[in-house]
Structure 1
Amino acid sequence: MIELADIEAAADRIAGHVVHTPTVPSPGLSELLGVPVTAKLELLQRTGSFKARGAAAKRLVLDDAERAAGVVAVSGGNHGIAVAVMAGALGVAATVVMPRTAPARAVEVARAAGADVHLTDGMSAAFALMSRLREDGLTLLHPFDDPVVLAGQGTVGLEFADDAGELTDVLVSVGGGALISGVAVALRARRPGVRIWGVETEGAQAMSQALAKGGPVEVPLSSIVTTLSAPTVSQLTYDHVAALVSDVLVVSDAEAVRGTVELAEHAKVWAEPAAGCLLPAARRVRERVGDDARLGLVLCGGNSTVADVVSWTERGRSPARVRVDQ
C-alpha cells in the first residue's frame, strides 16, 4: 500500500511537467443531480487525461540504462498518448501497444508524438505483446501495476482534497485501478470522512469481479469504453480498492455514452465515456446516501471525438437514441 507521503513526493517530482487542473463547482450538474456537485477537470490535463501524471512520475525515476532501452506500454488509448508525449518530452523512445478498437485519435496522437505503435486484436493480445516486448529488453511502463505510477495518479486526489469545498462522496472511473487507488489514498488521508466510489462499464468489470472473487481475475472484455478495458486488475490496485473504496458500481455502455452527452449539455465540458459513466453512477450514489450528499466527480479524460460519440449513439448504444445535436 502506498501512503500519502508517496503521493506528495510524486507531486513534487512532476510539478512543471503536468497541469494543476481546475476543481470547480458545477451549477449545471448540481441542478441535474439535485445535490451540489464539484468536478475535477482532469480532461484539461496535458494529453487530455490524468494519465500524464503517472507517466511523468515513472519517467522521472528511470535510470540511464532504462531510458536508453526505451519504454513499452499497453493502452486502451489515454495511457498510450501520455507515454508517447511524455517520452518525447524527456527524450526516451516509446513503444505503445493498443487494441484496434482504441480511439483513432489516440493512435494518431501517439504516433505523432514519435511512438512506435502496434495494434492488436483485442486488449488481452495487447497485454501479451507488451510482455513479449518487455522480454526483448524494453523498459515496462505499466498502466496500473506500479506503485510509482499509482502515486502519480494519486496527485489528482491531492489537488481535489486541497481545492474542493465540502464533499461527502467522490466518484472515480475504474479501469486497471491506479487512478481510484491513488485518489482514495490521498482523499482518505486528507478528508477521512469522504466516501470513494468506483465506476465501471459492463464488459469492463475487472475490479468489481475481483472484489466479488476476493482477488484479481481475468475477465472477458466487450465494452466500447476501451480506456477502462483492463483484462484484469493487479494485486496492488485490488488491495487499495478493497481497503479504501465503498463500492464499485457498474453501468452500461449506453449510460456512459449518454453521460458524455449530459456532461456536454449540463457541465459544458467534452468528456469521453470513461468520464460520462460517472453520471448514472452518481444518481445511484445519491439514492443510497440521501439528499445531504455533496458529490465530487473526477472527469478523467476527454479524448473521444465528436465522430466517436455520434457513432455510438447512432448504433443505438445510448438510451432513447440520444443525439448530440438535440
Structure 2
Amino acid sequence: MIGIPEIRAVAERIGAHVVRTPTVTSPGLSSLLGVPVTVKLELLQRTGSFKARGATARLLALSEAERAAGVVAVSGGNHGIALAVMAAALDVKATVVMPRSASARAAEIVESAGASLRLTDDMDGAFALMARLRAEGLTLVHPFDDPLVIAGQGTVGLEFAEDAGEFTDVLVSIGGGGLISGVAAALRALRPGVRIWGVETEGAQAMSEALAAGGPVPVALSSIVTTLSAPAVSRLTYDHVSALVDEVLVVPDREAVRGTLDLADHAKVWAEPAAGCLLPAARRVLERVGDGARIGLVLCGGNATTRDVMNWAERFDLR
C-alpha cells in the first residue's frame, strides 16, 4: 500500500518537471449543484492530464541500462501522451501502444513528441503487444499497476489536501485505478474524515466489477471514454480502492458527455468526458449525503478535441 511518505518523496523528485495545478472554488459549479464546489484543475497539467505525474516518477527512476533500452506503455490516450512528451523531455526513447479507438489527436501528439506509435485493433490487443515489447527488452511504464506511478498520481491528492478549503466529499474518475489509489492514499492521511467516491462510465467499469467479484476480473469495454477503458484493474489498485474508497459510482456515457458540456458552460473549463462524468456522479452523491456537503472534484484531463465533443453531443442528442 502506498502511503503519504512515498507520495511526498515522489513530489520532491517530480516537482521541477510538472505543474502544481490550480485548486479553486467554482462559483458556477457551486450554483449548479447547490453546494460549495472546489476543483483541482489537473486538465491544466503538462500534457493535459494528471498522467504526466506518474510517468515522470517512473522515468526518473530508470537505471542507465533501462534508459538506453527505452520504455513502452499502453494507453487509451492520456498515458501515452504523457509518456511520449515526458520521455522526450528526459531524453528517453519511448514506444506507445494504443488501440485504434484512441483519438487521432492523441496519436498525433505521441508521434510529434518523437515516440514510436504502435496501433492495435482493441485495448486487449494493445496490452498483448505491450507484453511482447517488454519481453524484447523495453521497460514497462504501466498506466496504473506500478507503486511509483500511483505515488506520482498521489501528488494530486497531496496538493488538493494542502491547497483546498474544507470539503466533505471528493470525487475521482477511475480507469485502471492509479489516480484514485494515489489520491485516496493522500487524502486518508491528510483529510481522514473525507468521503472518497470513484466514478466510472458504463462499459468501462473494471473497478466496480472487481469490487463485486472480490478481485480484478476482465471486463468487456464499450464506453466512448477510451481514457477510462482499462480491460481490468490490477491487484494493486484494487487493494487500494477496496481499502480506501467509500464507493464507486457508474454513470452512462451520455451523462459523462453532458457533464463535459456543463463544465464548459458553468465552470468555464474544457474537460474530457473522463472528467465530465464527475458531475452526474456528484448529483447522486448529494442525494445520498444530504445537506452540509462540500464537494471536491479532481478534473483529471482535458484532451478531448472540440470535434470529439461535438460529435458525442450529436450522437447523444445533447445539442
For 2:221, the equivalent position in structure 1 comes to 221
Query: 2: distance between equivalents of 1:195 and 1:103?
Result: 33
For 2:299, the equivalent position in structure 1 comes to 299
Specify the code of the residue in structure 2 equivalent to 1:99: P
Matched, 1:288 2:285: no
Q: Deviations over 1:14-49 (max 9, x none)?
A: 011000000000000001001100000000000000
Query: 1: distance between equivalents of 2:121 and 2:279?
Result: 30
CA RMSD after TM alignment? 0.5
For 1:83, the equivalent position in structure 2 comes to 83
For 1:272, the equivalent position in structure 2 comes to 272
Query: 2: distance between equivalents of 1:315 and 1:120?
Result: 25
TM-score under structure 2 length normalisation? 0.99
Q: CA deviation at 1:103?
A: 1.1
3-state SS in 1 of match to 2:176: coil
Matched, 1:322 2:301: no
Query: 1: distance between equivalents of 2:313 and 2:318?
Result: 6
Q: Which 5+ residue runs of structure 1 have no aligned equivalent?
A: none
Query: 1: distance between equivalents of 2:264 and 2:173?
Result: 18
Q: CA deviation at 1:93?
A: 0.5
For 1:190, the equivalent position in structure 2 comes to 190
For 1:241, the equivalent position in structure 2 comes to 241
Q: CA deviation at 1:296?
A: 0.2
Specify the code of the residue in structure 1 equivalent to 2:173: S
Specify the code of the residue in structure 2 equivalent to 1:35: V
3-state SS in 2 of match to 1:240: helix
Query: 2: distance between equivalents of 1:117 and 1:258?
Result: 31
Query: 2: distance between equivalents of 1:247 and 1:104?
Result: 33
TM-score under structure 1 length normalisation? 0.97
Specify the code of the residue in structure 2 equivalent to 1:206: A
Query: 2: distance between equivalents of 1:29 and 1:156?
Result: 20
For 1:138, the equivalent position in structure 2 comes to 138
Specify the code of the residue in structure 2 equivalent to 1:158: L
Query: 2: distance between equivalents of 1:95 and 1:245?
Result: 33
Q: Deviations over 1:70-105 (max 9, x none)?
A: 000000000000000010001111000001010111
Q: Deviations over 1:115-145 (max 9, x none)?
A: 1011111111111110011001101000000
3-state SS in 2 of match to 1:153: helix
Instruction: State, as a whole percentage, how many aligned pairs show the same letter.
Output: 77
Query: 1: distance between equivalents of 2:273 and 2:18?
Result: 23
Q: CA deviation at 1:183?
A: 0.2
Q: CA deviation at 1:291?
A: 1.6
Matched, 1:69 2:69: yes
Matched, 1:107 2:102: no
Specify the code of the residue in structure 1 equivalent to 2:287: E
Specify the code of the residue in structure 2 equivalent to 1:151: A
Q: CA deviation at 1:313?
A: 1.3
3-state SS in 1 of match to 2:197: strand
Q: CA deviation at 1:298?
A: 0.1
Q: CA deviation at 1:9?
A: 0.3
Q: CA deviation at 1:281?
A: 0.1
3-state SS in 1 of match to 2:95: strand
3-state SS in 2 of match to 1:200: strand
Name which of structure 1's ranges 174-183 and 306-315 shifts more when overlaid on structure 2: 306-315
Specify the code of the residue in structure 1 equivalent to 2:318: V
For 2:31, the equivalent position in structure 1 comes to 31
For 1:202, the equivalent position in structure 2 comes to 202
3-state SS in 2 of match to 1:43: helix
3-state SS in 2 of match to 1:165: coil
Query: 2: distance between equivalents of 1:249 and 1:192?
Result: 21
Q: CA deviation at 1:315?
A: 1.5
For 2:121, the equivalent position in structure 1 comes to 121
Runs of 4+ in 1 over 2 A off after TM superposition: none
Query: 2: distance between equivalents of 1:190 and 1:143?
Result: 25
Matched, 1:250 2:246: no
Q: CA deviation at 1:301?
A: 0.1
Q: CA deviation at 1:314?
A: 1.2
Specify the code of the residue in structure 2 equivalent to 1:109: I
